[in-house]
Amino acid sequence: MRRPLHAFIAALTVCLTVAGGASPQAPEHRFAPGSPPISVRPSALAQIVSELAGSPVNVQRARILWVIDPHAMVIESDSAFDPTWRDRGRVLVVLERSRSLAIPRPPVSIAPVNIVGIARTLLGIQAAQDVPWPQALTRREIDRLGVRAAILASSIKTSDGVELTSSTAVPSTAAPSTTTTAP
Amino acid sequence: MRRHHRLRTLLLLSVVLSGIPRTAAAQWDPFDPPRDPAHLDVSGTAGLRLSTDWSDLILLGSVSPATGALEQVLGRDLVFLPGPVFDATVMYWEGRYGFRSHVGFSRKCLAIAGRCVAIPTLDGPTRGSVTVDGYSADVGGAFGLREYHRNPWVWPYVFFGFGAVTYDIKQSISPPLQMFIEHSPSATADITVNKNFTNFGQTLLISIDELGLETKFAMNFGVGTDLRVPLGAAGVGLRLELSDTMHNSPLNIQIAELNTLTDEVVRANGGLVHNLRASAGLVLHFGR
């Protein structure tokens, strides 16, 4: 009689442990290492960043709204309509420490570009401090621009495959490069 | 009917044209993006105004086989006949979103059936036509119909707001209760009428506001455009505006039965008064 009771308690304990412990860890195991990045548009990423944060993403058909500094910019979904300062669904793109932007200045066009990186939350980017937070991006600007998500980007390319970043040994916070061409 | 169709077509065309996407994204400099350029404009305009009736001709009457029809005049078809309207507007814009404050003034007369004449009242007719000063003041929002770029030549917008309209009626207008139709005026008429005008033996209480200084809550909306000559940090231009300001009729007539279980009050008011305005004038704008 005791043995089935012990077995039942043990099984119940295991079930509760699994059920209770599985949910916080779920995001970490949702995507296996090496899995292809999830293709998503900037506006969609801004809406579902809580679900995609931590996952590799390939953000497609984006347009560059604001180059904040050589390591950060704000993007939005490309559209037939002109960009405006106040809008919704923007994404902050922060480059990995070893890279910096190489966008011609001024660019003849701001779209389309594709970004590959890891989807992050704004708070995660700021708190982790693995990359410097762009100083010009204040809370007021975040509110006005409607920035809702971030990407720790490893690559920014045009649709024809031209890389818009270059590798740098020491990241600097100087003014953006003016006529740097893609490698 | 055809005019309506043409107007609708023109309106539709203007909306479509203002909404056409342009391939102007190349003008956007991501290294120095235009961030809600703030600008202020001050305008003074003059124009025409058209007001709808404050009330229709309101009669309280009965039909009896013995005496025939007896109808008492409770209210005349009054209307504010405005003269030229003068407006001053200050608008603050950030990008295509604006805050607007506006004051307006117009002076002419209170008219019956569209004519400035002496108005019959309880105390007899007024001394000639009744001069009325109409003031309006409102605040509200404005929205640019196109994306704002620095120093635009044309800046179309719509606006809406709320405020008050005040009519300063230079002579007190009491209700014309001494006026009867089909019968000679009664010598004992009063604001409270205790006569059985109907065949049902009901006693009526009639309440009519004497017109003097009347202030009404008002809502307004409209469309306008600036044709600007940008001169850098400041500029001048021509402003054209069409608007409608709506408020309840200043004339308040209430009729109720006395000694009734149902507490019903009939409000025989003129309803909503529209004040259509078309104006043009000078606009000064500051900021890019």
Domains of chain A: 35-152 (2.40.50)
Model confidence band, residue B24 (pLDDT cutoffs 50, 70, 90): very low
Phi, psi of A37 (to 5 degrees): -65, 150
Instruction: Give the pLDDT mean for B199-213.
Output: 71
pTM of the complete model: 0.60
Question: Distance between CA atoms of B288 and B284, rounded to whole angstroms?
Answer: 12
Distance CA B214, CA B169 (A): 8
Per-residue pLDDT at A13: 62
- Residue holding tokens 């001709």? B57
Predicted confidence at residue A84, as pLDDT, reads 82
Tell me: ipTM over 0.85: no
A32-57 pLDDT, tens digit per residue, is 566 788 999 999 999 999 999 999 99
Helices (H), chain B: 2-19
Provide the 10 A C-beta neighbour count for residue B84: 13
* B26:A110 CB<8 A: yes
Q: Which residues of A touch B147 (CB under 8 A)?
A: 82, 84
Per-residue pLDDT of B128-164, as tens digits, reads: 888 899 999 999 999 999 877 777 889 999 999 999 9
Quick one: tokens of B137? Answer: 């003041």
- Distance CA(A111)–CA(A113), nearest Å, equals 5
pLDDT band at B166 (very low <50, low <70, confident <90, very high): very high
Contact A62, A74 (CB under 8 A): no
Rounded CA-CA distance B204/B74 in Å is 13
Q: Are A84 and A126 in contact (CB under 8 A)?
A: no
- When scoring B23, B27, B31 by the number of chain A Cβ atoms within 10 A, the one with the most, hence best to mutate, is B31
Is the Cβ pair A85, B35 closer than 8 Å?
yes
Whole-number percent of chain A with pLDDT over 90: 57
Sign of CA dihedral B233, B236, B237, B243: positive
Among partner residues B30, B36, B96, which is closest to A144 by beta-carbon distance? B36
DSSP states of B157-218: EEEEEEEEEEEEEEEEE---TT-EESSPPPTT--SS--S--STT---EEEEEPPEEEEEEEE
Q: Which residue has the higher pLDDT, B129 or A91?
A: A91
What's the rounded Cα separation, in Å, for the pair B276 and B285? 26
Give the closest-approach CA distance of B19 to chain A in angstroms: 9
pLDDT tens, residue by residue, B48-75: 999 988 877 777 776 665 666 667 777 7
Asked if the model's pLDDT at residue B38 lies above 90, the reply is no
Rounded-to-integer distance, Cα A115 and Cα A75, Å: 10
